[in-house]
Every structure is written in C-alpha cells, then in structure tokens.
Amino acid sequence: MDGLLVPPARSDQQSVLPAATTVVLVVAASQIRELALSLPRTTEGIVRDSVRFRIGQIVYLALSPDETLMGFAFPKEERAMLVESEPETFQLPRTSDLRFNWVVARLDRLDEGRMRELVIDAWRMCVPKKVSALIDESGAQRTSYGERRPTRGVRP
C-alpha cells in the first residue's frame, strides 16, 4: 500500500459505503431506427403495424408494434445456443418463423452496445461483402475499402 494513506478506523464509527449500483440504459426504438437507417441499402417499411428494416426484399430487423421486442437476422445453427445461454434476453421466433434465420430480443434487456452489435451483424448477413466492408464493427462508415479491396492484374 505504498503511497496510500488510510485513516485509522475508529471503533465508534461504522463504515457505510454506498451500495454498488448498476445502471443499464434501456434501448429505445428510435436508437435502433437511427442505426438501421444509417446502414447502406437499408429501407424502412411497416407490415402489420410492425416496423421492418430490409435490404431489397430481405428483412433483417423488425420491431414489434409495442416496440418492446426486436427480431433480427441470426444464423439458425447458433440460435438455440444463444437463447439457452440468455433466456431472459432472447427468445425463439414464433413457430411460423422458425424456418428463417431469426431470433427475438427483449429491448429492456439490451444496452446500446449489444443492440449495435446485433443490428450490424444482422445487416451483414444480408448485404454483399463489398458493402459490408464499408461499415466497421462500431457502425461507423469507412471512407474506403482499405486493405480489403482486391487488386486485379497485379501480382506480388
């Protein structure tokens, strides 16, 4: 404990430390909408009172009419593991949607970082790799393809 001065404890005082609190900011539908619409080729539409975000005709993200649930594209092979690992956050889609690469998340259980990760990964499943390379992991748009851009006709 070099350099740390701690006053001696007095027997007549009780040490009262503030209880540790965890503040989790719940994600709002407006944040999801803003992120989704910032991604290239994304369009927004409404189907049966539910907001859907799509690339062409492929829906990769949807909000429930009451905006408490977010459905998103997710590999079928991995979804059972995701739902089993965090059942309070994720759930399987309704039976008619089990044939799709789809999972549902409760918005009150997501923070902004996790929401960004899920939305961007869902978007990446639906766009060509060339378009996907335009967005980094944080959702920021890159100015160029950088090292990922193939060079044709040039041999090393």
The answer to whether position 43 is within a domain reads: yes
Give the pair of three-digit tokens for residue 20.
């540790």
Q: What is the pTM of this model?
A: 0.74
The answer to whether position 85 is within a domain reads: yes
Q: What is the pLDDT along the chain (156 residues), one digit of tens a residue?
A: 444 454 455 555 554 545 555 555 678 999 999 999 999 999 999 999 999 999 999 999 999 999 999 999 999 999 999 999 999 999 999 999 999 999 999 999 999 999 999 999 999 999 999 998 887 766 666 655 544 444 344 444
CA distance 72 to 136: 19
The answer to whether position 55 is within a domain reads: yes
CA distance 4 to 86: 41
* Cβ within 8 Å of residue 77, ≥6 positions away: none
Instruction: Spell out the long-range contacts of 113-116 with Cβ–Cβ below 8 A and sequence spacing 24 or more.
Output: 115/27, 115/31, 115/32, 115/35, 115/70, 116/35
Q: Phi and psi at residue 67, in whole multiples of 5°?
A: 60, 35
Per-residue confidence (pLDDT) for residue 135, from 0 to 100? 79
The answer to whether position 5 is within a domain reads: no
The answer to whether position 89 is within a domain reads: yes
The answer to whether position 20 is within a domain reads: no
The answer to whether position 15 is within a domain reads: no
Domains: count for the chain: 1
Per-residue confidence (pLDDT) for residue 78, from 0 to 100? 96
Range of the domain at 116: 29-135
Task: Give the domain CATH number at 78.
Answer: 3.90.1150.30
Per-residue confidence (pLDDT) for residue 136, from 0 to 100? 73
The answer to whether position 64 is within a domain reads: yes
Per-residue confidence (pLDDT) for residue 148, from 0 to 100? 43
